[in-house]
Structure 1
Amino acid sequence: MFYWSLAMEYIKNYAKTKLTYRADFWVELLSDLLFQGINLIFILIVFQHTPSLGGWSEAEVIFVYGYFMVPAGLFGAFFNIWNFSERYIVKGEMDRVLTRPAYNLYQVLLENLDPPSLFGSLVGLIIMVISWGDLGLAFNLMDVLMMAVFTVGSVLIYAGLFTSLTAISFYSDAPTGILPLMYNISNYGRYPVNIYNKIIRFLLTWLLPFAFVGVIPASYFLDKDHEGLSSLALLTPVVGAVVLAIGLTIWNHGVKRYRGAGS
């Protein structure tokens, strides 16, 4: 209850801030949607030049992209820690966080909430629904349950990987530039992994498992068993739990090494 009430207070403060600066809210929302729209247009342009991509039709790739947007939006809303190094390490705000009783990472996440990113998840669901009809896929209540399970697993993968990378700030004196690079790599998960060579395919599946935040769980609903993808989809929550555990371990160890801001 303590953590729940704390979250509610942070959300109230966020709402008050955005009501004061409403233009910033709408600009942020529109820029987010514009970015997602450009990515979708890129996919449509690609299929103007080819009937399929690695054996995947246009509607199937758009469906995968729709799924990819759902966990990506949730992650962006609740794990918006891109500026952690500059704000909390360089400027010393981590000292303030560590003097409070709540778990430090939880505080950092609440201080950086970005609810407009949830609109990306909503758009992703709409794209999935439209593509579902275009593909003539059967629908049952189990699909809703599996969608929820896969989405949670995908968000955990995002959270674990980016928490690990953010924690590098505890081990380095200078801000790291690896987060933007990793974000760009994560975008490869929205495309069928079989279009890449074996090394990249292995990287995106088992080392940096971004395929589990897009094409692999989406293939379950498409019943697309290219190289066992739909079977691997059931591992999504397991991979998510493992990656998150690794991320939290690296974070907690980094916090123990933290010695405060310098003068």
Structure 2
Amino acid sequence: MRYAVLLWEYIKNYAKTRLTYRADFWIEVLSDLMFQGMNLFFILIVFQHTPSLGGWTEAEVVFVYGFFMIPYGLFTTFFNMWNFSERYIVKGEMDRILTRPAHNLFQVLLENVDPPSLIGSAVGAIIMAVCWNDLGLAFHAYDLLMLLLFVIGAVLVYGGIYTALSALSFFSDAPTGIVPLIYNIQNYGRYPVNIYNKTIRFILTWVLPFAFVGVIPASYFLDKKSDDISQLALLTPVVGIVFFILGLSLWNYGVKRYRGAGS
């Protein structure tokens, strides 16, 4: 309950700060939507040159992209840690965090919360709904429960991977590290992994499981029962929990090794 209250207080402070400059707030929202729109436009351009992609139709791939946007929006809202190394390690703000009683990772996440990213999740849900209707997919009440489980699992996959990457900053003071590289790799998870060779497919499924934030859970709703991808969909929450535990464990280990910013 104490952490829920802290979350609410941080969001209120965020609103007071950002809405002081409302034009900047809406420009940020618009730029984020334009970025997602360009990604969707790229998918549509691809299908101008091919009728299918690895056996997936245009509507199915757009459906996957819609699902991809939902956990991604939630992730960027609550796990906005892109500048962790520069701000908290290089500039020494981690010292301040460690003087407070709340868990240090939770504090870092709250200080960087980004509610406008939730708009991307809403747009993703709309895209899914439109494609669901266009594809003539059957709808059952339990589909909402499965969607919730898959989204939570996907967010945990994101959170675990990027928490682990941020934790590497405790062992090195490099201001950026490999986060930009992994950020680019994650985009491959929104496409059918069967279009890649076996090595890339293995990496996207089990090493950096970005396939579990897009195509694998989305395939559950597309009735691709004979597809190897959809058979892994129910593992999404499990993979999410496992990777988040690994990421949190590495974070806690890094905090124990942290000795402060020095002089």
Quote how far apart the aligned CAs of 1:227 are: 4.1
- 1:260–1:226 Cα change, 3 Å: farther
Pick which of 33-42 and 171-180 moved more.
Answer: 171-180
Q: Which amino acid aligns with 1:190?
A: R
**Equivalence for 2:53:** 53
Quote how far apart the aligned CAs of 1:225 are: 3.7
User: Following superposition of structure 1 onto structure 2, how do residues 242-257 of structure 1 map, counting pairs within 5 Å?
Assistant: 242-257=242-257
Q: Which amino acid aligns with 1:170?
A: F
Q: Which amino acid aligns with 1:7?
A: L
Residue 85 of structure 2 contacts residue 173 of structure 2 at CA under 8 Å; is this kept in 1? no
**Equivalence for 1:71:** 71
Alpha-carbon separation, structure 1, partners of 2:226 and 2:210? 17
What is the DSSP-based 3-state SS (H/G/I as helix, E as strand, rest coil) of the residue aligned with 2:52?
Answer: coil
Alpha-carbon separation, structure 1, partners of 2:55 and 2:153? 26
**Equivalence for 1:35:** 35
**Equivalence for 2:5:** 5
What is the DSSP-based 3-state SS (H/G/I as helix, E as strand, rest coil) of the residue aligned with 1:10?
Answer: helix
What is the DSSP-based 3-state SS (H/G/I as helix, E as strand, rest coil) of the residue aligned with 2:229?
Answer: helix
**Equivalence for 2:141:** 141
Give CA deviations for 1:21-47 in whole Å, capped at 9, x if unaligned: 111111110010000000000000000
User: Following superposition of structure 1 onto structure 2, how do residues 164-183 of structure 1 map, counting pairs within 5 Å?
Assistant: 164-183=164-183
**Equivalence for 1:237:** 237
**Equivalence for 1:99:** 99
Give CA deviations for 1:110-130 in whole Å, capped at 9, x if unaligned: 000101110110000000000
Instruction: Give unmatched runs, 5+ long, in structure 2.
Output: none
Alpha-carbon separation, structure 2, partners of 1:153 and 1:183? 18
**Equivalence for 1:89:** 89
Give CA deviations for 1:157-212 in whole Å, capped at 9, x if unaligned: 00000000010100003223311111110000000000000000000001100000
Residue 153 of structure 2 contacts residue 236 of structure 2 at CA under 8 Å; is this kept in 1? yes
**Equivalence for 1:189:** 189
Count of equivalent residues? 263
Q: Which amino acid aligns with 2:30?
A: L
TM-score, with normalisation over the residues of structure 1?
0.98
Q: Which amino acid aligns with 1:222?
A: L
Q: Which amino acid aligns with 1:219?
A: S
Give CA deviations for 1:27-82 in whole Å, capped at 9, x if unaligned: 11001000000000000000000000000000000000000000000000000010
**Equivalence for 1:219:** 219
**Equivalence for 2:261:** 261
2:25 is equivalent to residue 25 of structure 1: yes
Alpha-carbon separation, structure 1, partners of 2:46 and 2:4? 45
Quote how far apart the aligned CAs of 1:226 are: 5.7
Residue 68 of structure 2 contacts residue 124 of structure 2 at CA under 8 Å; is this kept in 1? yes
**Equivalence for 1:123:** 123
Give CA deviations for 1:97-141 in whole Å, capped at 9, x if unaligned: 000000000000000010111011000000000000100000011
Alpha-carbon separation, structure 2, partners of 1:108 and 1:154? 21
2:111 is equivalent to residue 111 of structure 1: yes
What is the DSSP-based 3-state SS (H/G/I as helix, E as strand, rest coil) of the residue aligned with 2:81?
Answer: coil
Alpha-carbon separation, structure 1, partners of 2:100 and 2:258? 16
Alpha-carbon separation, structure 2, partners of 1:73 and 1:213? 11
Residue 168 of structure 2 contacts residue 254 of structure 2 at CA under 8 Å; is this kept in 1? yes
Residue 168 of structure 1 contacts residue 176 of structure 1 at CA under 8 Å; is this kept in 2? no
Residue 170 of structure 1 contacts residue 258 of structure 1 at CA under 8 Å; is this kept in 2? yes
Q: Which amino acid aligns with 1:205?
A: T
Quote how far apart the aligned CAs of 1:262 are: 2.0
TM-score, with normalisation over the residues of structure 2?
0.98
Residue 189 of structure 1 contacts residue 211 of structure 1 at CA under 8 Å; is this kept in 2? yes
Instruction: Give unmatched runs, 5+ long, in structure 1.
Output: none
